[in-house]
Amino acid sequence: MARISGTSELPVHIRAPRVVGKPAIGVLRHVGRFGMMLAELARALREAKQWVPRALDQCQHVGYGSLFIVLLTASFAGAVTSLQAGYQFTGSVPLYVVGAVVSESIILELGPVLTGLILAGRIGARYAAELGTMRVTEQIDALEALGRNPVAHLLLPRIVAGAVMVPVLTILSVGIGILSGWLAAKAALGITDQDFVHGARYFFRTFDIWYCVIKAECFGLVVTLVPCYVGFTAERGAEGVGRATTYAVVTSSVLILLLDTLLAKVLLPT
Protein backbone atom coordinates (compact mmCIF):
# COMPACT_ATOMS: atom_id res chain seq x y z
CA MET A 1 0.00 0.00 0.00
CA ALA A 2 1.32 3.43 -0.91
CA ARG A 3 2.30 5.56 2.07
CA ILE A 4 0.79 9.00 2.46
CA SER A 5 3.86 11.20 2.68
CA GLY A 6 2.40 14.61 3.64
CA THR A 7 -0.64 16.23 5.20
CA SER A 8 -1.50 17.89 1.88
CA GLU A 9 -2.17 14.45 0.35
CA LEU A 10 -4.84 13.61 2.94
CA PRO A 11 -8.50 13.87 1.90
CA VAL A 12 -10.15 17.23 2.56
CA HIS A 13 -12.56 15.87 5.19
CA ILE A 14 -9.58 14.75 7.28
CA ARG A 15 -7.41 17.76 6.55
CA ALA A 16 -10.04 20.42 7.29
CA PRO A 17 -10.54 19.66 11.02
CA ARG A 18 -6.75 19.56 11.47
CA VAL A 19 -6.23 22.89 9.73
CA VAL A 20 -9.06 24.57 11.63
CA GLY A 21 -8.69 22.66 14.90
CA LYS A 22 -5.17 23.69 15.90
CA PRO A 23 -5.66 27.48 15.65
CA ALA A 24 -9.11 27.12 17.23
CA ILE A 25 -7.63 25.33 20.23
CA GLY A 26 -4.93 28.02 20.41
CA VAL A 27 -7.56 30.78 20.44
CA LEU A 28 -9.64 28.96 23.07
CA ARG A 29 -6.54 28.51 25.23
CA HIS A 30 -5.83 32.26 25.07
CA VAL A 31 -9.47 33.08 25.86
CA GLY A 32 -9.37 30.77 28.87
CA ARG A 33 -6.06 32.14 30.16
CA PHE A 34 -7.20 35.72 29.60
CA GLY A 35 -10.40 34.98 31.53
CA MET A 36 -8.35 33.51 34.37
CA MET A 37 -6.18 36.63 34.41
CA LEU A 38 -9.28 38.81 34.71
CA ALA A 39 -10.49 36.68 37.63
CA GLU A 40 -7.05 37.00 39.28
CA LEU A 41 -7.15 40.78 38.79
CA ALA A 42 -10.56 40.96 40.45
CA ARG A 43 -9.27 38.88 43.35
CA ALA A 44 -6.12 41.00 43.66
CA LEU A 45 -8.20 44.17 44.18
CA ARG A 46 -8.45 43.35 47.89
CA GLU A 47 -4.63 43.55 48.22
CA ALA A 48 -4.75 47.34 48.13
CA LYS A 49 -1.54 47.75 50.16
CA GLN A 50 0.36 45.99 47.38
CA TRP A 51 -1.06 47.66 44.31
CA VAL A 52 -2.09 51.20 45.30
CA PRO A 53 1.45 52.66 45.78
CA ARG A 54 2.65 50.95 42.61
CA ALA A 55 -0.41 52.17 40.70
CA LEU A 56 0.49 55.76 41.62
CA ASP A 57 3.99 55.22 40.19
CA GLN A 58 2.52 53.76 37.03
CA CYS A 59 0.07 56.69 36.72
CA GLN A 60 3.07 58.96 36.60
CA HIS A 61 4.73 56.80 33.91
CA VAL A 62 1.57 56.57 31.79
CA GLY A 63 0.30 60.10 32.36
CA TYR A 64 3.24 62.43 32.72
CA GLY A 65 5.48 60.25 30.56
CA SER A 66 3.06 60.20 27.63
CA LEU A 67 1.85 63.80 27.92
CA PHE A 68 4.24 65.35 25.41
CA ILE A 69 3.70 62.91 22.54
CA VAL A 70 -0.07 62.79 23.08
CA LEU A 71 -0.44 66.57 23.08
CA LEU A 72 1.94 66.99 20.14
CA THR A 73 -0.09 64.54 18.05
CA ALA A 74 -3.38 66.14 19.09
CA SER A 75 -2.20 69.63 18.17
CA PHE A 76 -1.12 68.49 14.68
CA ALA A 77 -4.35 66.53 14.21
CA GLY A 78 -6.42 69.60 15.16
CA ALA A 79 -4.51 71.92 12.85
CA VAL A 80 -4.63 69.52 9.89
CA THR A 81 -8.37 68.87 10.36
CA SER A 82 -8.98 72.59 10.38
CA LEU A 83 -6.91 73.24 7.24
CA GLN A 84 -8.48 70.36 5.32
CA ALA A 85 -11.97 71.44 6.35
CA GLY A 86 -11.16 74.95 5.15
CA TYR A 87 -9.88 73.60 1.82
CA GLN A 88 -13.10 71.64 1.27
CA PHE A 89 -15.60 74.21 2.53
CA THR A 90 -14.21 77.56 1.34
CA GLY A 91 -16.59 79.01 -1.24
CA SER A 92 -19.22 76.32 -0.83
CA VAL A 93 -20.24 76.08 2.85
CA PRO A 94 -20.28 78.81 5.53
CA LEU A 95 -16.92 78.80 7.30
CA TYR A 96 -18.41 78.51 10.79
CA VAL A 97 -18.94 74.81 9.88
CA VAL A 98 -15.15 74.43 10.26
CA GLY A 99 -15.63 74.98 14.02
CA ALA A 100 -18.16 72.14 14.09
CA VAL A 101 -16.04 69.78 11.99
CA VAL A 102 -12.90 70.39 14.04
CA SER A 103 -14.50 70.09 17.48
CA GLU A 104 -16.74 67.12 16.67
CA SER A 105 -13.97 65.22 14.81
CA ILE A 106 -11.59 65.74 17.69
CA ILE A 107 -14.09 64.91 20.46
CA LEU A 108 -15.75 61.93 18.80
CA GLU A 109 -12.90 60.36 16.87
CA LEU A 110 -9.43 61.82 16.61
CA GLY A 111 -8.83 62.59 20.29
CA PRO A 112 -9.63 59.15 21.72
CA VAL A 113 -8.41 57.06 18.75
CA LEU A 114 -5.10 58.83 18.20
CA THR A 115 -4.40 58.84 21.94
CA GLY A 116 -5.28 55.14 22.11
CA LEU A 117 -3.05 54.24 19.17
CA ILE A 118 -0.12 56.26 20.48
CA LEU A 119 -0.43 54.66 23.89
CA ALA A 120 -0.76 51.20 22.31
CA GLY A 121 2.73 51.83 20.93
CA ARG A 122 4.25 53.62 23.87
CA ILE A 123 2.68 51.91 26.88
CA GLY A 124 1.74 48.62 25.22
CA ALA A 125 5.25 47.94 23.95
CA ARG A 126 6.77 48.93 27.27
CA TYR A 127 4.46 46.77 29.37
CA ALA A 128 4.79 43.71 27.13
CA ALA A 129 8.59 44.01 27.02
CA GLU A 130 8.93 44.66 30.76
CA LEU A 131 6.67 41.81 31.82
CA GLY A 132 7.99 39.46 29.14
CA THR A 133 11.56 40.07 30.29
CA MET A 134 10.51 39.56 33.91
CA ARG A 135 8.88 36.27 32.91
CA VAL A 136 11.86 34.86 30.98
CA THR A 137 14.40 35.98 33.59
CA GLU A 138 12.37 34.29 36.37
CA GLN A 139 11.59 37.58 38.13
CA ILE A 140 7.90 36.71 38.17
CA ASP A 141 8.72 33.25 39.56
CA ALA A 142 10.87 35.01 42.18
CA LEU A 143 7.92 37.16 43.28
CA GLU A 144 5.76 34.05 43.60
CA ALA A 145 8.53 32.25 45.48
CA LEU A 146 8.52 35.13 47.99
CA GLY A 147 4.84 34.44 48.64
CA ARG A 148 3.80 37.63 46.87
CA ASN A 149 1.07 37.89 44.31
CA PRO A 150 2.54 38.97 40.94
CA VAL A 151 -0.89 40.00 39.70
CA ALA A 152 -1.28 42.50 42.58
CA HIS A 153 2.36 43.61 42.26
CA LEU A 154 2.75 43.91 38.52
CA LEU A 155 -0.49 43.71 36.54
CA LEU A 156 -3.10 45.51 38.59
CA PRO A 157 -1.07 48.73 39.09
CA ARG A 158 -0.46 48.95 35.34
CA ILE A 159 -4.08 48.32 34.42
CA VAL A 160 -5.43 50.76 37.01
CA ALA A 161 -2.97 53.37 35.72
CA GLY A 162 -4.23 52.85 32.17
CA ALA A 163 -7.88 52.99 33.23
CA VAL A 164 -7.31 56.25 35.13
CA MET A 165 -4.79 58.08 32.95
CA VAL A 166 -5.90 57.29 29.38
CA PRO A 167 -9.23 59.18 29.78
CA VAL A 168 -7.34 62.08 31.39
CA LEU A 169 -4.83 62.19 28.53
CA THR A 170 -7.66 61.91 26.02
CA ILE A 171 -9.53 64.88 27.50
CA LEU A 172 -6.32 66.93 27.44
CA SER A 173 -5.65 65.90 23.84
CA VAL A 174 -9.18 66.93 22.88
CA GLY A 175 -8.65 70.34 24.47
CA ILE A 176 -5.31 70.89 22.73
CA GLY A 177 -6.62 69.50 19.43
CA ILE A 178 -9.57 71.91 19.36
CA LEU A 179 -7.37 74.82 20.41
CA SER A 180 -4.79 74.15 17.68
CA GLY A 181 -7.58 73.68 15.14
CA TRP A 182 -9.07 77.00 16.21
CA LEU A 183 -5.71 78.80 15.89
CA ALA A 184 -5.03 77.21 12.49
CA ALA A 185 -8.49 78.21 11.26
CA LYS A 186 -7.93 81.79 12.43
CA ALA A 187 -4.49 82.02 10.89
CA ALA A 188 -5.06 80.22 7.58
CA LEU A 189 -8.75 80.66 6.86
CA GLY A 190 -9.38 83.99 8.54
CA ILE A 191 -12.36 82.64 10.47
CA THR A 192 -13.45 84.81 13.41
CA ASP A 193 -13.59 83.56 16.99
CA GLN A 194 -17.34 84.09 17.04
CA ASP A 195 -17.85 81.96 13.90
CA PHE A 196 -15.63 79.14 15.19
CA VAL A 197 -17.38 79.05 18.59
CA HIS A 198 -20.78 79.29 16.93
CA GLY A 199 -19.97 76.30 14.71
CA ALA A 200 -18.51 74.30 17.56
CA ARG A 201 -21.55 74.88 19.76
CA TYR A 202 -24.08 74.40 16.98
CA PHE A 203 -23.51 70.63 16.67
CA PHE A 204 -22.28 69.94 20.18
CA ARG A 205 -24.18 67.64 22.53
CA THR A 206 -23.16 66.91 26.12
CA PHE A 207 -23.30 63.19 25.29
CA ASP A 208 -20.34 63.72 22.92
CA ILE A 209 -18.06 64.21 25.92
CA TRP A 210 -19.44 61.08 27.61
CA TYR A 211 -18.94 59.15 24.38
CA CYS A 212 -15.34 60.36 24.22
CA VAL A 213 -14.68 59.34 27.84
CA ILE A 214 -16.31 55.91 27.37
CA LYS A 215 -14.14 55.29 24.31
CA ALA A 216 -11.02 56.48 26.15
CA GLU A 217 -11.81 54.17 29.07
CA CYS A 218 -12.24 51.19 26.75
CA PHE A 219 -9.01 52.02 24.90
CA GLY A 220 -7.22 52.50 28.23
CA LEU A 221 -8.18 48.97 29.22
CA VAL A 222 -7.16 47.58 25.83
CA VAL A 223 -3.69 49.19 25.84
CA THR A 224 -2.95 47.78 29.29
CA LEU A 225 -4.84 44.47 29.51
CA VAL A 226 -3.59 43.06 26.21
CA PRO A 227 0.12 43.91 26.69
CA CYS A 228 -0.01 42.76 30.32
CA TYR A 229 -1.52 39.42 29.29
CA VAL A 230 0.90 38.95 26.41
CA GLY A 231 3.97 39.94 28.44
CA PHE A 232 2.95 37.92 31.47
CA THR A 233 2.59 34.76 29.39
CA ALA A 234 5.71 35.31 27.23
CA GLU A 235 7.97 32.31 26.64
CA ARG A 236 11.28 31.35 25.03
CA GLY A 237 13.83 34.04 25.84
CA ALA A 238 14.61 37.19 23.91
CA GLU A 239 12.77 35.97 20.82
CA GLY A 240 9.65 35.38 22.91
CA VAL A 241 9.86 38.87 24.42
CA GLY A 242 10.27 40.42 20.96
CA ARG A 243 7.32 38.47 19.63
CA ALA A 244 5.21 39.38 22.66
CA THR A 245 6.00 43.09 22.21
CA THR A 246 5.05 43.10 18.53
CA TYR A 247 1.94 41.05 19.20
CA ALA A 248 0.87 43.36 22.03
CA VAL A 249 1.17 46.52 19.91
CA VAL A 250 -0.51 45.04 16.82
CA THR A 251 -3.34 43.39 18.76
CA SER A 252 -4.02 46.48 20.88
CA SER A 253 -4.08 48.71 17.79
CA VAL A 254 -6.42 46.41 15.89
CA LEU A 255 -8.70 46.05 18.92
CA ILE A 256 -8.84 49.85 19.28
CA LEU A 257 -10.00 50.19 15.68
CA LEU A 258 -12.54 47.38 16.09
CA LEU A 259 -13.87 48.83 19.33
CA ASP A 260 -14.02 52.26 17.71
CA THR A 261 -16.40 50.92 15.06
CA LEU A 262 -18.40 48.86 17.54
CA LEU A 263 -18.87 51.72 20.00
CA ALA A 264 -19.94 54.08 17.22
CA LYS A 265 -22.57 51.56 16.15
CA VAL A 266 -23.78 50.81 19.67
CA LEU A 267 -23.61 54.22 21.37
CA LEU A 268 -24.28 56.78 18.67
CA PRO A 269 -27.95 57.15 17.71
CA THR A 270 -28.26 57.13 13.90
Contact set with other proteins (CB under 8 A): 49, 130, 133-134, 137-139, 141-149
Please report how many Cα atoms fall inside a 13 Å half-sphere around the Cα of residue 235, on the Cβ side: 1
Q: How far is the CB of 178 from other proteins (least distance, A)?
A: 37
Shortest Å distance, C-beta 141 to other proteins: 5
Q: Kindly tell me which of 88 and 137 has the beta carbon lying closer to other proteins.
A: 137
Torsion angle, alpha carbons of 111, 117, 118, 121, to 10: 170
Whichever of 13 and 49 has its CB closer to other proteins, that residue is 49
Rounded to an integer, what distance in angstroms lies between the CA atom of residue 11 and that of residue 240? 35
Q: Given the complex with other proteins, which of 4 and 142 has the nearer CB atom?
A: 142
Is 9 or 57 the residue whose CB approaches other proteins more closely?
Answer: 57
* Residue 144 CB, nearest approach to other proteins (Å): 6
| CA distance linking residue 147 with residue 189, whole number of Å | 64
CA 233 to chain centre: 20
What angle (nearest 5°) sits at the alpha carbon of residue 86, between those of residues 82 and 90?
Answer: 165
Residue 138 Cβ, how far from other proteins at the closest point, in Å? 4
Choose between 84 and 149: whose C-beta lies nearer to other proteins.
Answer: 149
Distance CA 180, CA 111 (A): 13
For residue 258, what is the enclosing H or E element?
helix 237-267
Closest separation between CB of residue 145 and other proteins, Å? 4
Q: How far is the CB of 116 from other proteins (least distance, A)?
A: 26
What are the angstrom distances between the C-alpha of 29 and each of 24, 25, 70, 83, 135?
9, 6, 35, 48, 19
Query: In whole angstroms, what is the distance from residue 92 CA to residue 100 CA?
Result: 16
Of 54 and 186, nearer to other proteins (C-beta) is 54
198 burial type by CB count under 10 A (0-12 exposed, 13-18 middle, 19+ buried): middle
Query: With contact defined as beta carbons under 8 Å apart, do 124 and 83 qualify?
Result: no
Which residue's CB is nearer to other proteins, number 143 or number 214?
Answer: 143
Cα-based angle 129, 131, 134 (whole degrees, multiple of 5) = 105
- Supply the minimum distance, in Å, between the C-beta of residue 249 and other proteins: 21
Angstrom distance (rounded) from CA 73 to CA 125: 18
